[in-house]
Chains A and B, each alone.
Chain A
Amino acid sequence: MQFAQICDRVDVDSATVLPIDLSAFPGTWVNANPDTTGIARLVMSASAGNLSLQTFAIGPNGLIDWGKTDAAIFTAGPSSRLGAGFTCGYDFGFAETRLQGMIMKGLLVLAQFHNFNDESGRADHFVREYFALNHGRY
């Protein structure tokens, strides 16, 4: 088994790999910052071991629906089967946005990489925002 850091040197029986637990993801995640000018909320759903999300961002005239996209799933460690993060991307033509999400103690930390492909002169930029799940418990 190859590894580039010893934390990846784990005993795993590849013949009996269990499905990844995606229970931490599904639901509506709302930006903790009510004054955001970025992403307002994410609606995440899991089906048949796959994760997808729909992004709604703040626009000058209301929310802008970015549509649904599939997300790559990441767990908490090389021998973990507990979903803890995801990555996905949106290609808008004039720009591409890559999202990296990590869930820590119920908080979704979402990193966004915005790359402009037009000639507008705008700087490619990074944003990090926090989201909480509408879990309805309290």
Chain B
Amino acid sequence: MAQTLEFKQSSHLNPALMDPQTRTLRADKLLGKWVNTNRETRGISECVISQDGEHFSVSALGVGLAGPVEWPKTAAKMLANLEEEGGQRAVALRAVFDFEFMSVETQIRVNRGVLVVVLYVSFLDHSGRSNYVSREFFHRQD
């Protein structure tokens, strides 16, 4: 019997979403240690993406005053990424870093060998700082 699928846009009916291989497309392209392409960054200097079975996690180092600041290792949600530029098919990650004073929602993907991380930073400490969005680029460090 044909399955009736609920949808909210035509792409929800893409047959590729039913392909089991879609869930693990080129996940290896994300794994490893990544270093910020901007050596003058005042944000994240490096991040490490690791996989344990079906589970991904992300850790990061922020640039601090007297040395790197360790961000909490965070579980990441993996999603199939079927429409990357140039017909690339890969996976993307969403991870939320929770600090007491701040929460950072991230979008992580690879485009032609460059790790692109978009950060939505929300301050929880009433410090008057604006919640903001930024984007950083990383290259793989072997």
Contact = CB atoms under 8 A, between A and B. Distances in A.
A10 B77 CA distance: 31
Interface string B63-90: 1110001010000011111111000000
Given A87-B105, A111-B107, A124 B10 contact: no
Interface in A1-47: 1-10, 12-15, 17, 20, 37-39
Interface of B: 3, 5-14, 17-19, 22-23, 42-44, 62-65, 69, 71, 77-84, 91-92, 94, 99-102, 105, 107, 109, 118, 120-123, 125-135
A81 interface: yes
Nearest to B22: A123
12 contacts: A2-B100, A5-B63, A8-B102, A12-B127, A38-B11, A60-B10, A72-B120, A75-B130, A78-B123, A90-B8, A123-B22, A124-B77
A46 to B, nearest CB: 16
Interface of A: 1-10, 12-15, 17, 20, 37-39, 57-60, 64, 66, 72-81, 84-85, 87, 90, 92-95, 97-98, 100, 102, 111, 113-115, 118, 120-128
Nearest to B21: A123
Contacts of B107: 100, 111, 113, 126
A81 B130 contact: yes
Given A6-B64, A76-B133, A13 B80 contact: no
Q: Shortest 10 CB-CB distances between A and B: which pairs?
A: A14-B128, A5-B62, A85-B133, A57-B9, A7-B42, A126-B92, A12-B128, A37-B10, A74-B133, A122-B17
A28 to B, nearest CB: 18
